[in-house]
C-alpha cells in the first residue's frame, strides 16, 4: 500500500514537544488479604490519580501510596516496573500475582537504587520479539538470491548487500538469516570493532538463538574447544584477521579460522572500508595525538597493515581474506561507493533507508490502527537552515561556492580557560541571533509580519533544545564556546550545563560519555549543551539529544548524516502505565538539525538523497522522496520558507532557489513605509501623483498616507498617557481601535508597494543588459520596456527611489541573487547566458563576476 504524503505546514513541522514524566509507584492495602504485599507499578500520569482510578472499580479506599519516584536510571534511560519486580524476585521476594510483591518499601527502594546505578541482573535469552516486516523481507530476499546462485553452481559463494540505516536491527536480522540458512559457522568481520557489543547482546539475549555460542578475541574462550554440534558466531576485525606476523604468516591465534568451512561471512560496517577519508574528516578537529587514538579506537589498530587500495572490496574475497564460505553478506548504512560503482546489481541489494523507515511509520498507523506501531518512537528529522546577516557573512565567506565558511567563522586558539574565538564579537552576535536577541536584526524584523523560528527563541523549538549537540570545527573552538557561553553577560545560557566532549581531557572514545550522561540525568529537569568536534558522533545513543547544531564544514554526506542521526535516537516509554503493552509514550516524536551554511547543508542533503538512489535518473525524484519525510525550512534573512526537492537542487547547484529568490522580491524589507518616508511622499505633490498610479492604490481609500501618519501619532500620544496611568476606559478602547486601523492600513500600503517591486524581476528577465546597473537600464537604456512591465515611467520610479520608498541596499541584494542564480542555473544546463560577461550590474552598483 502506498501512503500519499501531504506536504506539512510550517506549524506542523514545528509542532510542540510532548511532556511526560515516567514514575514508579508502590501502594499497600490495609486488609488481611494484602498484608505484607505491595503493588509495584508504573505510570506517566499523576500517581495519585492513577492509583485512585485502579481501585475505584473495587471500591477500595483503605490504601496508602508508599512510594512515588522517577522511573529513570542515572544514565537517563527509563526503568520499568517489570524490571523492578524481576530484580525483587532475583533477591528472593515472592511475586504473588500480577504486580503484587511480598516485600517492604525499603526492599523496593534498594532495588531502585541498584538499577539506577547501572547494575544489571544477568539473564540470557529472555527477549522473544519477532522480526519486523522489512527485516523478514531482507532475510527472504537474501535467502532467495543465495539459492538462485547455488542452483546454477553449488560451489559459488554469492554476495548480497543490505543498505540499511542505523536502527534497522542488522545484527538481529543477520542472525535470523543465518538461522534460516541453517548455518552452523558464522564469521562476522568489521573495520569497526566497537560494534561488538551489539553482536554479542543480540545473540545472547534472544530466545531464537538459545544454544548458540559467541566467540571473539576478547571473549577469552578457546575456539578450538567449542561444541561443534551447536551453531557458533565468531566476531573479528579486518585488521586482526588480515594481519600477519613479522615473517609474513597468518597470526598463529587466527590459523584455526582459515581451516573452518564457514556457512556465512558477514562484513559489518562495510562502508568503513574507505576508513581513511572518513576517519580523517571525522576527527580532523581533534589534536593530532588524540585524533590518532580516536581513529585507532574507532577502527581498531593495525590499519596501516591494510592494503591502501582496499576502499571497495574486490569481486573475489579470497584475494584478501583466505577463507572458505558458502555466502557473503555485506552491511552498511551509507554504501554510496558500492552503489554508485555498480559493485552490486539491483537483485543483490536490499534497501532500508531513513525514507523507508519513516514511510513505514506512517503506513503502519493506517494499516494497523489497533496495534502498537514498532516505528512510532523513531523521530522524524527536520532540517532548518539560516542565512546569516551580511555583516557576519563578510567575516567568513569563501571557498568554491563563496558561501559562509563555518570553520573560518568559529576559528579559535588556545586551550581550556584561555581559549578564545578569533571573531569573538561576531560569534557573540551569532549567539544573540539564535536566541532571537540580536538588536540590529530585531529592528529589521519589525518590518516583517511574522518572526522566524530561531532555535533558542521559538517556544515550539525550545523543548527540543533542552539537550542539544553542537558540532564545532576543533578542540579550541569547543573550549572557546564553553568560555563564551559562561561569561557573565551571557545570562540566557546560564540555565544550560555545558559539557566539552573534545580534546584529551574529555577522554578517548566512550570515556567522553559519562560526563554527558551525568549532566543530562533523567533529561526531564536538566538542560545541557554538549560541545564536540568528533567525539560521540558514532556508535553512541543519547536518547535525550533532540537537536544538533552543525557549526563546522563537513565534506561528505556520509559524515554529515552520521553526526546528524545522533539526534534521531528514540526516546519513549513502553507500556507507560503498566497495563497496556501496546501503549507507548513518545517523548521525542521529531528531532532537529540546525545549519547556518544553507548552501552547503542543502548540497549535503541532495547528495545524500541522490546517493541512496543511484538508479533514479531524475535527481529531483530522489530528493523529493527524502524531503517528504525530512522537511526543510530555510531562513533567508527575512522569511522562513519551506523548500521542496526542486528548490533544494536549485540551491545545491546555483546557491539559491527560485522560491527563495522570489521571496526576496516579496520581502517587507524591500520597501520603507515608516512615517518619515510617508511624510516625504505626502509633502511632495508629484510623489503623491506617482503612488496614485500604482496598481490597486485607489482601493486603499482617500488620504491613506495622511490617515496612517495622523493615527500613528495619536496612538503614540495615547500610549505616552497610558504610561502615566491617566487613560480612561474610553481612551483605552480608542487606543486599541486606532492602533489596529493604522497598522492595517500601513500593511495594505506596504503590500501595494511590494506588489510593484515584484514586477522588477519580470523586467530583468526581459532586458538583455547584464553589466549595467539596473538603475541605468531602467532610466537610460530601456525606459519604454520598464513602463510596459511596471506601469510607471522612469521619472516616477526615480522619484520614489529618491524619497527612499525603496531600500536600495536590499534591492542590490535581490538583484545580485537574481543575476547569480540566472547565470549559474543556465551554466549548469550547459548554456552560457551572456558570452564574455565579466560584471553583474546590481540596482545601483556593479560588481565583478568573479
Model confidence pLDDT, tens digit, residues 109-126 = 888 888 887 654 333 455
Going by pLDDT thresholds of 50, 70 and 90, the confidence category of residue 272 is very low
Length of the chain: 850
- Decide which of 770 and 98 is more confident: 98
Inform me whether the pLDDT recorded for 353 exceeds 80. Answer: yes
Closest CA to 473 of 381, 558, 587, 597: 597
DSSP structure string for 334-366: --HHHHHTTSS-GGGEEEE-HHHHHHHHHHHHH
Q: What is the pTM of this model?
A: 0.72
Give pLDDT tens digits for 158-188.
999 998 887 888 999 999 999 999 999 999 9
Going by pLDDT thresholds of 50, 70 and 90, the confidence category of residue 622 is confident
Going by pLDDT thresholds of 50, 70 and 90, the confidence category of residue 452 is confident
Query: What's the average model confidence in pLDDT over 748-775?
Result: 65
Rounded distance between C-alpha atoms, residue 221 and residue 214, angstroms: 9
Average the pLDDT over each of 15-24, 148-157, 592-601 and give the range with the smallest value: 15-24
Three cell numbers written together for 263:
556457512
Three cell numbers written together for 141:
530476499
Going by pLDDT thresholds of 50, 70 and 90, the confidence category of residue 104 is very high
Residue 307 pLDDT: 43
Rounded distance between C-alpha atoms, residue 516 and residue 72, angstroms: 16
Q: Residue by residue, what is the 3-state secondary structure of 781-808? A: HCHHHHHHHHCCCHHHHHHHHHCCCECH
Residue 772 pLDDT: 47
Going by pLDDT thresholds of 50, 70 and 90, the confidence category of residue 814 is low
Q: Residue by residue, what is the 3-state secondary structure of 160-224? A: EEEEECCCCCHHHHHHHHHHHCCCCEEEEEECCHHHHHHHHHHHHHEHHHCCCEEEECCCCCCHH
Is there a contact between 567 and 426 (Cβ–Cβ < 8 Å)?
A: no
Inform me whether the pLDDT recorded for 841 exceeds 60. Answer: no
Going by pLDDT thresholds of 50, 70 and 90, the confidence category of residue 338 is low
Rounded distance between C-alpha atoms, residue 456 and residue 549, angstroms: 11
- Decide which of 672 and 364 is more confident: 364
Query: What's the average model confidence in pLDDT over 132-145?
Result: 96
Inform me whether the pLDDT recorded for 504 exceeds 90. Answer: no
Give pLDDT tens digits for 525-582.
899 999 999 888 876 789 999 999 999 988 888 888 888 988 998 998 887 887 777 7
Inform me whether the pLDDT recorded for 219 exceeds 80. Answer: no
Is there a contact between 824 and 653 (Cβ–Cβ < 8 Å)?
A: yes
Is there a contact between 541 and 571 (Cβ–Cβ < 8 Å)?
A: no
Residue 660 pLDDT: 57
Query: By CB neighbour count within 10 A (0-12 exposed, 13-18 middle, 19+ buried), where does 394 fall?
Result: exposed
Is there a contact between 670 and 814 (Cβ–Cβ < 8 Å)?
A: yes
Three cell numbers written together for 510:
566512550
Q: At what angle do helices 794-802 and 783-790 cross, to 10 degrees?
A: 80
Residue 295 pLDDT: 65
Rounded distance between C-alpha atoms, residue 833 and residue 850, angstroms: 16
DSSP structure string for 97-128: ETTEEES-HHHHHHHHHHHHTT-----SS-B-
Rounded distance between C-alpha atoms, residue 733 and residue 739, angstroms: 10
Inform me whether the pLDDT recorded for 91 exceeds 60. Answer: yes
Q: CB neighbours (10 Å) of residue 8?
A: 16
Give pLDDT tens digits for 416-444.
999 999 999 999 999 999 998 765 555 55
Going by pLDDT thresholds of 50, 70 and 90, the confidence category of residue 687 is confident
How far separated are the first and last CA of the chain, in Å rounded? 51
Rg (CA), the chain: 32
Rounded distance between C-alpha atoms, residue 282 and residue 538, angstroms: 9
Query: What's the average model confidence in pLDDT over 24-33?
Result: 92
Backbone angles phi, psi at 371, to 5 degrees: -115, 160
Residue 209 pLDDT: 87
Query: What's the average model confidence in pLDDT over 675-700?
Result: 84
Residue 711 pLDDT: 82
Residue 150 pLDDT: 96
Rounded distance between C-alpha atoms, residue 612 and residue 163, angstroms: 9
The mean pLDDT of the chain is 79
Closest CA to 194 of 511, 666, 408, 435: 511
Inform me whether the pLDDT recorded for 650 exceeds 50. Answer: yes
- Decide which of 579 and 309 is more confident: 579
Query: By CB neighbour count within 10 A (0-12 exposed, 13-18 middle, 19+ buried), where does 189 fall?
Result: buried
Residue 761 pLDDT: 66
Average the pLDDT over each of 202-206, 225-229, 423-427, 828-832 and give the range with the smallest value: 828-832
> Is beta strand 349-352 parallel, antiparallel or unpaired with respect to 159-164?
parallel
Percentage of residues in the chain having pLDDT higher than 70: 74
Inform me whether the pLDDT recorded for 309 exceeds 60. Answer: no
Query: Which H or E run contains 550?
Result: strand 547-550
Residue 831 pLDDT: 34
Residue 577 pLDDT: 81
Query: What's the average model confidence in pLDDT over 482-495?
Result: 94
Inform me whether the pLDDT recorded for 41 exceeds 60. Answer: yes
Three cell numbers written together for 266:
558477514
Going by pLDDT thresholds of 50, 70 and 90, the confidence category of residue 296 is low
Closest CA to 163 of 334, 378, 356: 334
Inform me whether the pLDDT recorded for 148 exceeds 90. Answer: yes
Residue 297 pLDDT: 61
Inform me whether the pLDDT recorded for 771 exceeds 70. Answer: no
Rounded distance between C-alpha atoms, residue 328 and residue 313, angstroms: 12
Amino acid at each position: 500500500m502506498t501512503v500519499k504524503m501531504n506536504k506539512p505546514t510550517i506549524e506542523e513541522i514545528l509542532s510542540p514537544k510532548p511532556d511526560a514524566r515516567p514514575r514508579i509507584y508502590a501502594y499497600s492495602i490495609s486488609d488481611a488479604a494484602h498484608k505484607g504485599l505491595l503493588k509495584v507499578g508504573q505510570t506517566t500520569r499523576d500517581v495519585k490519580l492513577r492509583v485512585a482510578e485502579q481501585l475505584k472499580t473495587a471500591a477500595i479506599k483503605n490504601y496508602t501510596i508508599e512510594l512515588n519516584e522517577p522511573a529513570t536510571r542515572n544514565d537517563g534511560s527509563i526503568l520499568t516496573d517489570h524490571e523492578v519486580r524481576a530484580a525483587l524476585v532475583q533477591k528472593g521476594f515472592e511475586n504473588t500475582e500480577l504486580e503484587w510483591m511480598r516485600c517492604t518499601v525499603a526492599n523496593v527502594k534498594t532495588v531502585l537504587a541498584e538499577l539506577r546505578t547501572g547494575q544489571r541482573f544477568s539473564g540470557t535469552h529472555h527477549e522473544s520479539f519477532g522480526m519486523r516486516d522489512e527485516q523478514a523481507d531482507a532475510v527472504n530476499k537474501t535467502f532467495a538470491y543465495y539459492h538462485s546462485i547455488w542452483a546454477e553452481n553449488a560451489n559459488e559463494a554469492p554476495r548480497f548487500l543490505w543498505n540499511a540505516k542505523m536502527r534497522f536491527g542488522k545484527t538481529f536480522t543477520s542472525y535470523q538469516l543465518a538461522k534460516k540458512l541453517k548455518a552452523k559457522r558464522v564469521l562476522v568481520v568489521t573495520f569497526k570493532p566497537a560494534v561488538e557489543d551489539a553482536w554479542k547482546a543480540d545473540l545472547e539475549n534472544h530466545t531464537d538463538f538459545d544454544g548458540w555460542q559467541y566467540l571473539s578475541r576478547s571473549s577469552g574462550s578457546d575456539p578450538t574447544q567449542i561444541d561443534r554440534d551447536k551453531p557458533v558466531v565468531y566476531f573479528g576485525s579486518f585488521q586482526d584477521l588480515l594481519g600477519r606476523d613479522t615473517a609474513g604468516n597468518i597470526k598463529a591465534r587466527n590459523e584455526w579460522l582459515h581451516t573452518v568451512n564457514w556457512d556465512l561471512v558477514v562484513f559489518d560496517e562495510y562502508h568503513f572500508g574507505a576508513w581513511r577519508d572518513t576517519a580523517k574528516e571525522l576527527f580532523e578537529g581533534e589534536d593530532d595525538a588524540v585524533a590518532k587514538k580516536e581513529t585507532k579506537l574507532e577502527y581498531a589498530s593495525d590499519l596501516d597493515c591494510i592494503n591502501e587500495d582496499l576502499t571497495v572490496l574486490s569481486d573475489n574475497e579470497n584475494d584478501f581474506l583466505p577463507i572458505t564460505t558458502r555466502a557473503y553478506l555485506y552491511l552498511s548504512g551509507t554504501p554510496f561507493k558500492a552503489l554508485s560503482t555498480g559493485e552490486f546489481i539491483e537483485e543483490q541489494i536490499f534497501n532500508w533507508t531513513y525514507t523507508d523507515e519513516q514511510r513505514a511509520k506512517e503506513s503502519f498507523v493506517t494499516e494497523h490502527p489497533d496495534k502498537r506501531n514498532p516505528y512510532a518512537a523513531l523521530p522524524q528529522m527536520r532540517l532548518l537552515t539560516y542565512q546569516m546577516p551580511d555583516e557576519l557573512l563578510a567575516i567568513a565567506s569563501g571557498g568554491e561556492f563563496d558561501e559562509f565558511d563555518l570553520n573560518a567563522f568559529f576559528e579559535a586558539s588556545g586551550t581550556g580557560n584561555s581559549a578564545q574565538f578569533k571573531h569573538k564579537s561576531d560569534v557573540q552576535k551569532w549567539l544573540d541571533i539564535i536566541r532571537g536577541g540580536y538588536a540590529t536584526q530585531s529592528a529589521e524584523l519589525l518590518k516583517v509580519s511574522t518572526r522566524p523560528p530561531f532555535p533558542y527563541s521559538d517556544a515550539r523549538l525550545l523543548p527540543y533544545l533542552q539537550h542539544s549537540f553542537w558540532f564545532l570545527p576543533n578542540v579550541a573552538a569547543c573550549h572557546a564556546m564553553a568560555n563564551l557561553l559562561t561569561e557573565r553577560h551571557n545570562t540566557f545560557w546560564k540555565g544550560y550545563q555545558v559539557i566539552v566532549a573534545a580534546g584529551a581531557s574529555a577522554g578517548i572514545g566512550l570515556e567522553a560519555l559519562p560526563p554527558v550522561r551525568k549532566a543530562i540525568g533523567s533529561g526531564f529537569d536538566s538542560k545541557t549543551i554538549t560541545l564536540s568536534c568528533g567525539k560521540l558522533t558514532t556508535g553512541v545513543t543519547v536518547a535525550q539529544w533532540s537537536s544538533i547544531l552543525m557549526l563546522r564544514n563537513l565534506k561528505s554526506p556520509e559524515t554529515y548524516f552520521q553526526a546528524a542521526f545522533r539526534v534521531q535516537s528514540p526516546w519513549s516509554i513502553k507500556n507507560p502505565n503498566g497495563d497496556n503493552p501496546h501503549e507507548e509514550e513518545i517523548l521525542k516524536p521529531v528531532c532537529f538539525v540546525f545549519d547556518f551554511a544553507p548552501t552547503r547543508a542543502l548540497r549535503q542533503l541532495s547528495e545524500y538523497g541522490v546517493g541512496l538512489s543511484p538508479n533514479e535518473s531524475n535527481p529531483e525524484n530522489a530528493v523529493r522522496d527524502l524531503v517528504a519525510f525530512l522537511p526543510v525550512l530555510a531562513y533567508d534573512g527575512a522569511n522562513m520558507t519551506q523548500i521542496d526537492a526542486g528548490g533544494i537542487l536549485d540551491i545545491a547547484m546555483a546557491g539559491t532557489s527560485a522560491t527563495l529568490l522570489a521571496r526576496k522580491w516579496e520581502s517587507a524589507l524591500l520597501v520603507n513605509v515608516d512615517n518619515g518616508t510617508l511624510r516625504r511622499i505626502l509633502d511632495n505633490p508629484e510623489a503623491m501623483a506617482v503612488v496614485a498610479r500604482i496598481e490597486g492604490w485607489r482601493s486603499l481609500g482617500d488620504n491613506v498616507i495622511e490617515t496612517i501618519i495622523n493615527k500613528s501619532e495619536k496612538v503614540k500620544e495615547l500610549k505616552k498617557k497610558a504610561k502615566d496611568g491617566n487613560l480612561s476606559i474610553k481612551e483605552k478602547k480608542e487606543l486599541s481601535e486606532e492602533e489596529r486601523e493604522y497598522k492595517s492600513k500601513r500593511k495594505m500600503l506596504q503590500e501595494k508597494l511590494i506588489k510593484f517591486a515584484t514586477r522588477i524581476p519580470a523586467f530583468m528577465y526581459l532586458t538583455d543588459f547584464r553589466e549595467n546597473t539596473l538603475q541605468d537600464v531602467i532610466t537610460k537604456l530601456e525606459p519604454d520596456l520598464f513602463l510596459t512591465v511596471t506601469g510607471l515611467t522612469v521619472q516616477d520610479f526615480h522619484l520614489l527611489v529618491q524619497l527612499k520608498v525603496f531600500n536600495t541596499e536590499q534591492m542590490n541584494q535581490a538583484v545580485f541573487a537574481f543575476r547569480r542564480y540566472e547565470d549559474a542555473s543556465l551554466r549548469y544546463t550547459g548554456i552560457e547566458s551572456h558570452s564574455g560577461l565579466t560584471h553583474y550590474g546590481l540596482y545601483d552598483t556593479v560588481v565583478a563576476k568573479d
